Amino acid sequence: MTTFSVLVIDDEEDFVTTLVNRLQKRKIEAQGVTSGEAALEALAKADFDVILLDIKMPGGMDGIETLREIRKRQPQAEVILLTGHASVETSIEGMNLGAYDYLLKPVKLEDLLVKIAAAYEKKSTQDKS
Ligand SMILES: [Mg+2]
């Protein structure tokens, strides 16, 4: 079975920990960070197939700024945005910047896993062509 790598970026630490554990149980290489700045460090060290990115993060780098950096540094990665109802417009901006899709929070873990698998499927199809 081929495995793939996922980076989870969200300021909610519990969410990141839970999701990373669930992915690892499925033999997916998963790593989690809680800020845009930490995401840049992770991107400098490894390539990711799928990146989950929270739109709303406190501190220096918000989701859209982080997305712009991801697109520059790892354009091959499929990015799934996580968004609250209040920031759907921002998600559409993110889609225009090349994100794969977005999901509304709170999101069911099962839905997230399905979306991650679909994003990876799309990426591996493109890699072959
Ligand atoms: Mg957040």
For 33-51, write each residue's pLDDT tens digit: 999 999 999 999 999 999 9
Q: Write down the architecture of domain 5-128 according to CATH.
A: 3-Layer(aba) Sandwich (3.40)
DSSP string, 38-58: HHHHHHHH---SEEEEES---
CA of 128 to the centre of ligand 1 (A): 34
14 CA from centroid of ligand 1 (Å): 11
Residue ranges covered by each domain of the chain: 5-128
The model's pTM is: 0.94
- CA–centroid distance, 47 to ligand 1, in Å, is 23
Distance from C-alpha of 53 to C-alpha of 50, rounded to nearest angstrom: 10
pLDDT of residue 41: 98
